[in-house]
């Protein structure tokens, strides 16, 4: 099963960044707006959407969930 886990991790990261961007745009937010509401740096939002930051911390995820009006448990970003 060559690359099985690695492929899975890449797919989760891709799904995360795509859903994050879709949710942000659905709420008519810029990256700056979302960062401010979530209490994170603009570069964090940018890097998450680009897949450059693949392991956001719990506080980051909670801030994003609150800013987007979603619960982490609902799998709002493709996890959970």
Terminal Cα-to-Cα distance of the chain (whole angstroms): 25
> Which residue in this structure is represented by tokens 């891709």?
14
Question: What domains sit in the chain, N to C, each tagged with a CATH number?
Answer: 4-71 (1.10.260.40)
- pTM recorded for the entire structure: 0.78
4 Cβ contact partners less than 8 Å away, ≥ 6 residues apart: none
User: What is the distance, to the nearest Å, from the Cα of residue 48 to the centroid of all Cα atoms in its chain?
Assistant: 6
pLDDT in tens, 17-69: 888 999 999 999 999 999 999 999 999 999 999 988 768 888 999 999 999 98
Instruction: Please give the pLDDT value at position 4.
Output: 84
């Amino acid at each position: 099963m060559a690359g099985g886990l690695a492929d899975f991790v890449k797919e989760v990261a891709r799904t995360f960044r795509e859903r994050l961007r879709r949710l942000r745009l659905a709420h008519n937010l810029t990256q700056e707006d979302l960062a401010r509401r979530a209490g994170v740096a603009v570069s964090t939002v940018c890097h998450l959407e680009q897949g450059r930051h693949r392991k956001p911390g719990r506080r980051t995820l909670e801030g994003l969930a609150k800013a987007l009006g979603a619960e982490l448990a609902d799998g709002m970003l493709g996890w959970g």
